[in-house]
Amino acid sequence: MKMKRVLVTFLSIALVMSLAACNGAPAAPAGQAGEPADKTAQPAATDKPYIPVIALGFSHQFWQAVKLGADQAAADYGVEITFEGPETETMVDKQVDMLRTALSKNPVAVCMAAIDNESVASDLKAAKEKGVKVVGFDAGVGDAADSHCSTSNYAAGALAAENAARLLNETGEVAVVGHSQTTVDAVARVDGFVETIKKNYPNIKIVDVQFGEGDHLKSADIAKSMLTANPEIKLIYASNEGACVGAYNGIKEINKIGKVMLIGFDSSAAMKEAIRNGEIAGAITQDPVGMGYKAVEAAVKLVKGEKVDKVIDTGCYWYDASNMDDEKIAPLLYD
């Protein structure tokens, strides 16, 4: 993660002067997560440019890590942000209310990970017509985004493949337990792994690819059936936390721990414990701190009229028992 710390006094002054016409002063103190939409995440009374950051959720440690990065960028760039999200990542109507409330405070930009792109499309279009810049992060906001910050899931899958090859000494049979055949990000995680193995490691054979919807039980059953049908499998790659924990359970149920290696994606308390004790070889983590930072950074640059890439890769990392406590990696792992 590369986060350039920029704290220059004239930046804040320039932002305020150039955006005063569209930056109304927020009137109410910050609300608490879970209150009605008209009371949530009120920006503090300030003359700084205001940028709301609206996530898919709020309480999960992933989103709190995104918040940490967004807060740091706000401090570095001299802007005021609020960070909020609904209690669950299915509450479309509540998230729409959060967006509308935030837009009523006359922000100069908005950063958002929409639960449903279509539900926010008209509000974001109207905001853009008023000069508000829009930055999508993680799930993003579709075509409404002036810039989009997220993990390159294909590159993450490729990183998993490279580590699988290293662990296998570039030879052996492997299988994949994916979590979705339809979600774009999920497909990219599998494609990145499979295509990297096929292109770069001719002595590694992918003998099976199946999908368990990220469900622990389904993924466990898939792992067991794979290993029964292909007893020479030496490693399984699982493309999200649910697939990984499920595959781990399946491998354990048939007493293959220590005989079959497992590589996962993201993190959880169960994954971290199994990685610490060597039962899972390692996993790929996204960089939610960097995601939050780069989203706010992109918003500031767009407001200032600077050139910003349409898609910004926020990075990913391999972690295992040897580095999961490193100061660079530990903040990116969550329960």
Per-residue pLDDT 10s for the chain (335 aa) are: 434 333 333 334 344 344 434 444 333 333 333 333 344 556 655 689 999 999 998 987 788 889 999 999 999 999 999 999 999 888 999 999 999 999 999 999 999 999 999 999 999 999 999 999 999 998 899 999 999 999 999 999 999 999 999 999 999 999 999 999 987 788 999 999 999 999 999 999 999 999 999 999 999 999 999 999 999 999 999 999 999 999 999 999 999 999 999 999 999 999 999 999 999 999 999 999 999 999 999 999 999 999 999 999 999 999 999 999 999 999 889 88
pLDDT of residue 41: 59
How far apart (Å, rounded) are the C-alpha atoms in residues 7 and 59? 29
Q: What pLDDT sits at residue 304?
A: 97
**pLDDT at residue 77, rounded to an integer:** 98
Residue 259 domain boundaries: 153-286
Q: How far apart are alpha carbons 60 and 322 in whole angstroms? A: 25
Residue 326 falls inside a structural domain: no
Query: 93, 6, 125, 68: which is closest to 332 by C-alpha?
Result: 68
Tokens at 158, concatenated:
């490729």
- Read off the tokens for 307: 């050139």
Are residues 164 and 310 located together in one domain of the fold?
A: no
187 and 143 co-located in one domain = no
Angstrom distance (rounded) from CA 103 to CA 107: 6
280 and 294 together in one domain: no
Residue 227 and residue 308 share a domain? no
130 within domain boundaries: yes
Closest C-alpha to 131, from 309, 303, 310:
303
In a domain, 175, yes or no: yes
pLDDT confidence of residue 45: 58
Residue 331: inside a domain, yes or no?
A: no
Sheet containing strand 316-319, edge to edge, reads: 204-211, 172-178, 233-238, 261-265, 282-286, 316-319
CB contact at 8 A, 283 and 275: yes
224 and 249 share one domain: yes
Under 8 Å between Cβ of 53 and 149: no
pLDDT value of position 139: 86
Q: Which are the contacts of 4, defined by CB distance < 8 A and separation ≥ 6?
A: none
> 173 has which bridge partners?
205, 233
Does 321 map to a domain?
A: no
Tokens of 230: 């292909």
- 8 Å CB contact between 303 and 49: yes
Residues 47 and 117 both lie in one domain: yes
Same domain, 306 and 270: no
Task: Give the per-residue pLDDT at 42.
Answer: 60
pLDDT for res 241: 93
Q: For position 43, what pLDDT does the model report? A: 61
Classify 125 in phi/psi space as left (phi over 0), alpha (psi -120 to 50) or beta: alpha
Task: Name the H helices within the chain.
Answer: 9-19, 61-77, 92-103, 117-129, 153-167, 184-200, 216-229, 241-253, 269-276, 288-303
Q: How many domains does the chain have?
A: 2
Q: Facing residues of 80 across strands?
A: 50
pTM of the model: 0.73
* Domain contains 325: no
Q: Are 239 and 166 in the same domain?
A: yes
Quick one: 93 and 157 in the same domain?
no
Residue 199 lies in a domain: yes
Distance between CA atoms of residues 333 and 243, nearest Å: 17
pLDDT computed for residue 132 by the predictor: 98
Q: Same domain, yes or no, for 19 and 128? A: yes
| Residue 323, domain member (yes or no) | no
Q: How many CB atoms sit inside 10 A of residue 322's CB?
A: 9
One domain, residues 176 and 119: no
If asked whether residues 176 and 276 sit together in one domain, one would say yes
**What's the CATH number where 162 sits?**
3.40.50.2300
